[in-house]
Every structure is written in C-alpha cells, then in structure tokens.
Amino acid sequence: MNVLGIDTSCDDTGVGITRDGRVVANVVVPQTALHARFGGVVPEEASREHLEVIDSAVADALTRADLTLADLAAVGATYGPGLVGALLVGLSYAKTLAWGLDVPLVPVHHLEGHLAAAAAEPPFLALIASGGHTALFRVQAWDDIAELGHSRDDAAGEAFDKVARLLGLGYPGGAALSALAATGDDHGVSLPWPMQGKDTIEFSFSGLKTAVAMLLQRQPDARPEDVAATFERVAIGSLVEVTLRAVERTGLERLVVAGGVAANRLLRRAFDEAGLEVRFPPPGLATDNGAMIALAAHQRLLAGGAEPGSATTVMTDAVPYQPLAGAAG
C-alpha cells in the first residue's frame, strides 16, 4: 500500500511516501532562507511559499519513489496544530488529490506524525521538543496516546532561537548557540530555573528567555559564551528534569525524543547517563517532514481497518485526541 503524506504545518513543505509502512520518498523544501531575514517565521510568507512549491514537491516525491499518482492508495495530511494558513495549503491540496484519485484522505495530528517517525514499539514515553512544540506523551498503543504535559509558553527550540538572536547568532540559532555554549562556563552567569519547586509535568521557557534579555541589559559585558552555556545548562536541565519525572510516574523506561532540539548534545548525554533506552527518529525524520505523516496515516489505515483504495473516507472520527492547546506549532 503506497501512502502519500503532506506536512505544511510551519515553514517546511514536506511530502513523503511510504510503501507498506516503509519510507520510499521524503522531500522537504525548507523555507529557512525566506524567514531568516525576519528572525522568525512569517505566517503569510510561509503559506504563499507552500502554495508555490507543493505541486513540484509531490511530483518530486513520486519520481523518487518511482510511482505515479495512480499507485497511491491513500493521502495523509497534517490537519493541526500549526499555522492556519500554512496548514490549509497542504490539507486542501491533500483533500483535492484524494477526491480526484478516489482514495481515502487521512487527517493526521502533527505530533502523531513525529511519534510515528520514531519507529519504536509502544509502550513508550515520547518527548517532542522543537521550535514549535514541547510536550510529553505516553504512547501505550498506537490508538492509545495521551499527552502528559506541554509547555505553558515558549517551546524549547523557540527559547533557543530567541536567546540566539539576543546574542546575535542568526536564525534558527539553536545549533549555533549550543556550539558557542561548548566554549563557555555554564555557571558563568546567574539564571533562574524554570518551574522551580513545581512537581508537575509541564515546561516553561519564556521566563528564562526574559531573564537572559534582562541580564544582557544589566551586564552588557557578560561573556556571550558564558550566557550561552548557562542558558543551555538550565534549559536542557529543565527539559530533562521534567522528562525524568514522567519516567518515574509512568514507569516507562523507553523514551523517544523527536524535534530539532533532540540534536542537542547535553540532552543526549543526560538521557544516556540516566540509563534510559532512548530512541531518536532516523536523520531526516526527526524534524518536520511529510514521510512521518505518511507513516502515521498508514498506521491509522491499518488500525481503522480501512480498505486501501476503496471509497473516499474522511477519517476525522478516528483521531483519538484533539488539537492540543499550547502545544501548537
């Protein structure tokens, strides 16, 4: 069964194809350069760019998979969460394509796509930390996914990007900030620990980001590498602290980590040291892409018992949890 998946939730146009649950094409058209000059994603620009490239991205994915449209058994697309205008482009495209081909359309929750990309067998705990979302899930089975908690404000990657910007490191700046941090003193300045003393499965990064901005105003001569190192220690330390609390509460010791922040070396080291069985999605599937949406759609089709290639089915009722407030992006 060949499934095409589309993700246009934020600033990358992702189109992927799976054959019997294996990724055979994964085309991502990034918009990083387009948004870099604004220092963040401009929603209207993102929507227009998705519209511009989606047709050729689909054609490219089909060529790479050595397939034609007639070979597709279903079309999956992210229905949320994300930038509304951007989502509309991918979802409308997918709807039209599914209708035209008379195959099922499978709306996929964006975060379920990230989970499907991990290729891990449930049950497991999943931490998704990217520029748009930071949340923890218990995946008991593919049709039994519960969110345990998310960020009250900024996503982890967003905080990295904002602090990187304050330090003049460009956008997106997470990786550059982490590289600078490696050369600094991680106790070189003083920053507050997020959610100090709160025994909850929740994250918060906006106070930390504001604390960095205020510190730079107060101490303009603070060494940037020390600010970066201290910020990284606290931000990653807080992510790890809350995740380990979730491990303790659920008893699940298998952990899937997805999203751009999963690349962070402190994060990887901390989970290794905690002795957890950690899985990272393969390169190319860790950040936003369409193949993960095809994988999730494939699983949904199998779970729903839908006959591939039969009548058009809009499987909105099969979605087990609703778009998650605060985890959007």
Out of 5, 107, 259, 326, the residue judged to bind ligand KG4 by CB under 6 A? 259
DSSP conformational letter for 66: T
> Which parts of the chain fold into alpha helices (H)?
32-36, 43-65, 84-101, 110-116, 156-166, 174-181, 206-218, 224-250, 265-273, 291-304
The three-class DSSP label of residue 191 is coil
**Part in contact with ligand KG4 (CB under 6 A); list of ranges 191-199, 245-253, 257-265, 296-304:** 257-265
**Part in contact with ligand KG4 (CB under 6 A); list of ranges 194-202, 239-247, 258-266, 319-327:** 258-266
Segment 175 to 204, residues that bind ligand KG4, using CB under 6 A: 175, 178
CB of 130 to Zn ion, least distance (A): 5
For ligand KG4, the closer CB: 1 or 324 = 324
Residue 131's binding partner among ligand KG4, Zn ion, none (Cβ under 5 to 8 angstroms by kind) is: ligand KG4
For ligand KG4, the closer CB: 204 or 287 = 287
261 touches ligand KG4 by CB under 6 A: yes
CB of 317 to ligand KG4, least distance (A): 29
List, in order, residues 6 or more apart from 313 with CB less than 8 Å away: 104, 105, 306
**Part in contact with ligand KG4 (CB under 6 A); list of ranges 97-105, 116-124, 168-176, 317-325:** 168-176
For ligand KG4, the closer CB: 106 or 164 = 164
CA distances for 221 relative to 81, 216, 261, angstroms = 40, 8, 28
For Zn ion, the closer CB: 11 or 288 = 288
**Part in contact with ligand KG4 (CB under 6 A); list of ranges 144-152, 169-177, 198-206, 270-278:** 169-177
Residue 287's binding partner among ligand KG4, Zn ion, none (Cβ under 5 to 8 angstroms by kind) is: ligand KG4
CB of 197 to Zn ion, least distance (A): 30
CA–CA gap between residue 3 and residue 103 (Å, rounded): 10
CA–CA gap between residue 226 and residue 230 (Å, rounded): 6
How long a stretch of residues is the chain?
329
Residue 160's binding partner among Zn ion, ligand KG4, none (Cβ under 5 to 8 angstroms by kind) is: ligand KG4
112 touches Zn ion by CB under 5 A: no
CB of 161 to ligand KG4, least distance (A): 5
For residue 284, which of 30, 4, 8 has the smallest C-alpha distance?
Answer: 30
Q: In what order do the strands lie in the sheet with 105-109?
A: 22-30, 12-19, 2-7, 72-80, 105-109
Answer for the pair 43, 113: CB distance below 8 angstroms, yes or no: no
CB of 67 to Zn ion, least distance (A): 26
For residue 225, which of 258, 187, 263 has the smallest C-alpha distance?
Answer: 187
List, in order, residues 6 or more apart from 52 with CB less than 8 Å away: none
Out of 169, 288, 291, 326, the residue judged to bind Zn ion by CB under 5 A? 288
Answer for the pair 94, 75: CB distance below 8 angstroms, yes or no: yes
The full DSSP string for 22-48 is: EEEEEEEEE-HHHHHTTTS--HHHHHH
Count of residues engaged in binding ligand KG4, rule: CB under 6 A? 19
Structure tokens at 63: 């060529």
The three-class DSSP label of residue 198 is coil
Binding residues vs ligand KG4 (CB under 6 A):
10, 130-132, 157, 160-161, 172-175, 178, 259-261, 263-264, 287-288
Binding residues vs Zn ion (CB under 5 A):
130, 288
